[in-house]
A = this chain, B = another copy of it.
Amino acid sequence: MADEVLFDFLHMELVSYIHQSCSKEENSKDISISRLESIGFRVGQSLIERFTKDSARFKDELDTMKFICKEFWNAIYKKQVDNLRTNHQGVYVLQDNRFKFLTQISNGKQYMESAPKYLAFPCGLLRGALSNLGVNCIVTAEVSAMPACKFQIQIQRA
């Protein structure tokens, strides 16, 4: 439990630090989101190397996604993804009905607008992990009703 809050608190402070430190720049919102995303990307790259060092090679893309939804999600957020969908044309949607970083902020509709800054690092994590598994993609997140969240992964074919 201690570990878990350690990571959570550090992430919260990171978000608030980057938000503040970008506040004087033009397009500060976009810049801070993009910086959080890049930090997430690098952390995701490192993490997936550690997590998969004893794993067998994944069969295919779907197999990779299943690993992400189960082991990867569980290691980071202490729960699995609730739902995985794909259109079989390179789009995957991972739905988490109680996304950890959103359960920490208030539930009211008026807080929805602060959700994106808590989703940038997780989007980066996902993109970094997949990139190290050979899957190049764009990851976006969408909140319909707090604290549920959908991560959309769009595969970028070469």
Query: Which residues does A use to contact B, with CB under 8 Å?
Result: 2-7, 9-14, 17-18, 21, 35, 39, 42-43, 46-47, 50-51, 75-76
Q: Which residues of B contact A4 (CB under 8 A)?
A: 3
- Give the distance in Å from the alpha carbon of A79 to the alpha carbon of B13 in the complex: 24
Task: Say how many copies of this protein the assembly contains.
Answer: 2
Q: Which residues of B contact A76 (CB under 8 A)?
A: 2, 6
Q: A9-B46, A46-B9 are in contact. Are A17 and B39 (CB under 8 A)?
A: yes
Q: Which residues of B contact A17 (CB under 8 A)?
A: 18, 35, 39
- Give the distance in Å from the alpha carbon of A12 to the alpha carbon of B39 in the complex: 10
Can you name 6 extra interface pairs (CB under 8 A) apart from A3-B7, A12-B46, A17-B18? A2-B75, A5-B47, A6-B75, A6-B76, A10-B14, A21-B21
